[in-house]
Every structure is written in structure tokens, then in C-alpha cells.
Chain A
Amino acid sequence: MSKINKAKTAGIVVETLATVLSISLIIFFLLYLADANFSEAIRGFIKSSIGGRKNAYLFTTFSKMALITGMAIAALIAFRAGLFNIGGEGQLVVGGLVSAFVGLSVADFGLLGIFLALASGMAAGAVWALLSGFLTIYMGVPLLVGSLLLNYPARYISSYLVSHPLRDVNSGLPQTFLLPKSVWLPYFQGTRLDVGIILIFLVYLFILVISQKTKYGYYSKSMGISFSFAKISGLQTKKIVFQTLALSGAIAGLVGSIAVLGIHHRFTDGMLVQPLYAWTGIIAALMVNLNVWSIPLAGFFFAAISTGAAGMERIAQVPKEIATIIQAIIILFVVGKLGSLGGASIPSGDSDHD
């Protein structure tokens, strides 16, 4: 190893240590503000992210990991094609709402009912994402703001539907009726972990294959590197944009369906928005620099932070929002190491519009 390499390695080690130290200092400062007992808080964090009686909390982390990883894949598939779909939240909500509604009406169909509910959730998510693609391609609205603005109609329309027409009037909350057991996603034996995580794993494998091994994967990646180059080399960019957004939206919709059919068994107002699944997914995808292979790791990491924080709240009375702060700080500290997303440079590529 040459001297220069050694110096470089030493530099990286020092930098990593400095980052870890700064993040820890910030966390301690926040704990101090909340007037918490440090050792209690940290023990609570570790125990509730990966421990618990019969590993119950570990399974909670796994079920959160499924949702966050799913949203991270949805973000990643769009980002690697240069499409800033930050409307994952809307697509997630629409998917969850539609599959709750379909789930209620197909209760007698058994396994087919589950399949129908999942498929309709995916379709709804895809339609919501395609809507933002339509605004971009045919109306010239930047995808970044177009997809984001569509989050709000999704949120308010779903809130209206579950507060009035679809509301379970016997419950005190704005939520739909409880789904019949026949359309619940089955649990793994002896746990409260549903098979949604397997569905997400299948999606992960699917995305691995299509991003590394298919023509579509290659084309969409080259579109992400340079839109104008992809265009002048004769790629059908319009088609790729719609395919990618449909795929991204469908995955987000599937995550919503899994949350409804596997975890909550009904759609409650704000249940998919408040835990910030979509935004956590986006920063998980960004943290691994859009590397498909390492997505589940990032998903597990962020899920563990959020269940750990919930445990800290139970045990040491530290507000669980500390999870959001920690996630934001981590992404800030790694952001300088990531490549540029090229967001500011993309907006002037020529379109297919003739």
C-alpha cells in the first residue's frame, strides 16, 4: 500500500469517526433536552428495536422494515431513471385506501380476494403516479413539484372518504370497517409478523433482476444519467418515463395494501402519512446512493431507529420524534459523499413532444 493510499484511508477513518461523534453528540443533546436518563434511554432503544419478549419487538421492526424497504424501492426505481417522484406518499395512501375498500367487498373470495385487494392497491398507486407523469410529459409541470402536490389531494380525499361515506360509524375514529379475517395477510406461525415482508422481498428480487439484467433496466438507467443523451440515442424516453412511474407507483401502492391487509386490517385517517413511511423510504434509498443491492439493509436500519425510538418513549419518556431527527441528521452527514442527483440540470432536456 502506498503512502498516499494510507493517508487516504486514515482520512476516511478520521472523517467517519468525526461523523459518528457529531451524530452521537447531537443525540445526547436531544436526550438532555428531554430530561431523560441516558442509560435508560439507550437500553430502551436497543431492547425495543431488536429485542422484546419472544423477540416481539424484532418482529415489529421487521414489519416496519417491509414498508420502509418497499417505499425505498419505489423511490429508487424512479430516481435511478432521473425521475424525481417524491409523491410516494400519495401513491401509498391511494393504494392503501383502494385495497381497504376492495378488501371489504371481496371477503368471500378467500385467497383470490387477497390477490384482488393487493392488485387493486397496486393499480391505484400506479394510476396516481402516472397522473404526475401525465402532468410532466403533456403539460410541462416539473415532476418534482407535480408529484409532490398530488400528495395533498390523496391525503384529503382519503381523509374525507373515511370520515364520511366509508366510515365505520360505530368506531370513534375516522376509519373504515375492520376487514374480515379471510382477507388478512396470513401471519408467520407463532408471531405477529405478516407475510407482507415476503411480498416485499419478491419485489426486491424482481427489481434486482430488471435493473441489472433487462433492456428496460439499462435504458432507464441511461435516461437517469443523461436525459438528452438517452433521447438522441433514440430511446423512447416518453415510454420509459411512464413505465418507470407506473412501476414506482405500483410498488408504493403495494406497500399501502400490505399495511392495510397485513398490519392494521383497516384504513385509518393519517395512518400511512403520520409515520412518514414515504419520506423515510426516500432517504433510505438516498443513503445507499441508489444501490439496489443494499436497500434492505437501509430499510432495516431506519426501521430499527423508529421502533427503537418508540421504545425510548415507553421506557424513558423521550418523544419518539427523535427518530425523524436522527434519520434527517444521518442523511445530512452522508449527503456530501453521494453523487449529485442532477436535479437542477435535468429540466432542459428536449421532450418527445413534436
Chain B
Amino acid sequence: MIENFLDPEFFSSIARLTTPILLAALGGLICHRAGVFNIALEGFILLGAFMAVLGSYLGDSAFWGALSAILGGIFLAIVFSEFHLRRRGDPIVVSIAINLLGLGLSTYLLRSIFDVSGVFSHPNIHKLATINWPLLDSFWLLDLIFNDQSILFYIAILSTIAFHYFLKYHKIGLWIRVAGENQEALRSSGSNPVQVKFFALLICGIFCGLAGAQLSISNVGLFVENMSAGRGWIAVVVVLLCAGRPIPLFFLIILFGVVDSLSLRIQGLGLPQQITEMMPYIVSILVLVFVSFRRFRFSSKTHL
């Protein structure tokens, strides 16, 4: 029984399933700290995933795929900034619109450029490189988790650490935090909070675009309509839960990754696919209940 669960594939799938959510959540985290209520991560990821396939197909290499995924994310980030920062639209409304835009654009472009609907796969879609560290070969668990993962996995982990120090010690990190906590203080110190928020949104676009690239061109090399399947919302939940701190965020996401790959294992034991696909959302609700309920009892505040 236990061997069914703890086979090598279990450990390597944790890293694989975690990476897109981690990348997207890092983007959401920067927005959260800068005081931009961005719940459009889902749309960002989806367009990124499509653009990755498009770039990889047209440019004939995974590098162009990743680059065009980033451009897709940046494009939606600019749209978000235009309508939220410049035209002062409500962030929830802008986010809902951008989620629809990401879904609509990715499907529309898929059907008008490649003339297929549903799934697009092609031998010309190049996958992201994986990295092998010969040093780790002899350590069983480390080898399984850290070896032969897509390059974005390592970028995600390094970025988590970098974000921690960046927000804590770097000047721009400080600006971002002040933009979120007290805009006026930032303005009186001579910086423009709108510019800082714009910068945060751009970072978010880049990371969500990469999250999309990880989904579409890391293991599978294909695009499926609506393939983000709610991962952007899980990233939003994780950012809310850890109150925008990178290190707790990392561990929370590992928890989600473990649940995700456990449910894949359980599927192998005969549980229907729909039930296992539902698990991350159930876990999100449970973790939200657990964390919020404790906070809630101490502060007796309600969150509508």
C-alpha cells in the first residue's frame, strides 16, 4: 500500500506540480505587497501558457516559448495597469474582465492561428530544458526531487529566496512595501506610488507568464483550452494565506504540491478522476478555514 504512494514518481511529481503555482504566487505576492488587489492571475497564466506554445512553435526553440510567454504576461499586466492604475477601475472588476480576456484570447488565437479547437500539440513545440546535477545522483530523495526538473523549477526556488531578501533589504522592495502600506508616505518621500505599482504588476506578468510556460511546454508540450484550470485562484488563496511573505508561501505551496501528487496516486488506485481533480480546491478551503479561523477567533473580525 505505502509503496504505491511513495514511489519515485511521487516525489518528482511534487516539484513538477508545484512549480506553476509557485511562480504565479510569487507574482501575486509582489502585487499584494504593493497594494494591488490582483485576482487576475488565472488569466495571466492562461495567456502565458498559450503564448509559450506559440513562441516555441514559431521560434523553433523553448527559449522563444518562454520569452513570448513572458510577453503575454506583460501584455495583460499593462492592460491591468491601464484600466486599474490610470483609469482607476475597481481592481475586482478589472480582474474579472482580464480573466475573461485571457480565456477568450487564448482560445480565439488557438482557433484562428492553428485552426484547431480543444488541444493543440505538434512535434515542432520544443520543451524547456531540464537540468541534471551529477552531484545529487547518489542522494536518493534529493536526486528524485531536484534532478531533471525543468529549468523554471530552479528559477522558481531561487526567486523565492531572492524575493525574501529583495522585499526586506532592497530599496525598490521597500518602496513596494510602502506603496502597499502607506501610499502617502511614499509620495511625500518623492517616489510615485503609481510607478511602483506598475512595476509590481510587470513583475507579476513576467512570473505568471513563466507559470504558463511551465504548464504548457515543460512536460507535455501542448496547449489545452483553459489549461490553467483554477491554478491561478489557488495562487491567490496562497498569497492571502501567507499575507505576502515569500518563505511561508513556499511551504504552503509545497503542501499543495504534496496533496496534488497524492491525489494523482490515489487516482491510480481507482478513484474517479473528477474526485482527485477536486482535491486541491477542497484543501484550499480547508487550509483557509484552518488559518482564518484561528486568526478570526483572536481578532473577531469578519471578511466579507
Contact = CB atoms under 8 A, between A and B. Distances in A.
Nearest to B82: A332
A142 B240 contact: yes
Contact of B304 (A142, A332, A335, A339): A142
A329 B76 CA distance: 12
Nearest to B278: A156
Contact of A325 (B90, B105, B278, B296): B105
Interface in B8-29: none
B101 interface: yes
B278 A152 contact: yes
Contacts of A139: 288-289, 292-293, 296
A324 B304 contact: no
Nearest to A326: B104
B240 A145 contact: yes
A106 interface: no
Contacts of B117: 319
Contacts of A163: 272, 274
A108 B230 CA distance: 41
Interface stretch (B106-114, B164-172, B215-223): B106-114
Contacts of B39: 144
Interface size class for chain B? 35 or more
| Residue among B101, B274, B281 having the largest count of chain A Cβ atoms under 10 Å | B274
Interface in A1-45: 30, 33-35
Contacts, number: 185
Nearest to B92: A343
A95 to B, nearest CB: 19
A234 interface: no
Nearest to B36: A344
B122 interface: no
Given A145-B240, A149-B281, A350-B301, A327 B108 contact: no
A84 B92 contact: yes
Interface in B260-304: 272, 274-275, 277-278, 281-282, 284-285, 288-289, 292-293, 295-296, 300-304
B59 interface: no
B278 to A, nearest CB: 4
A165 B111 CA distance: 34
B-side interface mostly: helix
B89 A336 contact: yes
Contacts of B282: 153
Interface size class for chain A? 35 or more
Contact of A321 (B94, B111, B237): B111
Interface in A279-308: 279, 282-283, 286
Given A145-B237, A340-B90, A341-B90, A353 B300 contact: yes
Contact of B112 (A319, A333, A344, A354): A319
A139 B289 CA distance: 6
Nearest to A336: B87
| Residue among B83, B285, B302 having the largest count of chain A Cβ atoms under 10 Å | B302
A335 B93 contact: yes
A149 B277 CA distance: 13
Nearest to A224: B304
A164 B101 contact: no
Given A149-B281, A325-B101, A136 B233 contact: no
A145 B233 contact: yes
Interface string A71-83: 0000000000011
A331 B94 CA distance: 8
B274 A157 contact: yes
A135 to B, nearest CB: 7
Nearest to A347: B303
A354 B99 CA distance: 38
Contacts of A157: 274, 278
B37 interface: yes
Contacts of B210: none
A344 B296 contact: no
A336 B288 CA distance: 32
Interface in A37-93: 82-84, 86
A328 interface: yes
Interface in B82-131: 83, 87-94, 96-101, 103-105, 107-109, 111-113, 117
Contact of B293 (A140, A319, A331, A338): A140
A160 interface: yes
A140 B296 contact: yes
Contact of A159 (B88, B97, B107, B274): B274
A227 interface: yes
Contacts of A137: 302
Contact of A347 (B103, B105, B274, B304): B304
B236 interface: yes
B79 interface: yes
A276 interface: yes
| Residue among B107, B112, B289, B304 having the largest count of chain A Cβ atoms under 10 Å | B304
B302 A152 contact: no
Contacts of B92: 84, 144, 341, 343
| Residue among B90, B237, B301 having the largest count of chain A Cβ atoms under 10 Å | B90
Contacts of B233: 145, 148-149
Contacts of A152: 230, 278, 281
Interface string A182-210: 00000000000000000000000000000
A153 B278 contact: yes
B101 A349 contact: no
Contacts of B277: 156
Contacts of B103: 276, 321, 324
A163 B273 CA distance: 11
B296 A329 contact: no
Cβ-closest 7 pairs across A and B: A140-B296, A324-B104, A351-B302, A335-B89, A336-B87, A140-B292, A34-B112
15 contacts: A82-B304, A84-B304, A86-B96, A136-B302, A139-B293, A140-B292, A142-B303, A152-B230, A160-B275, A283-B97, A325-B104, A339-B90, A343-B92, A347-B301, A351-B300
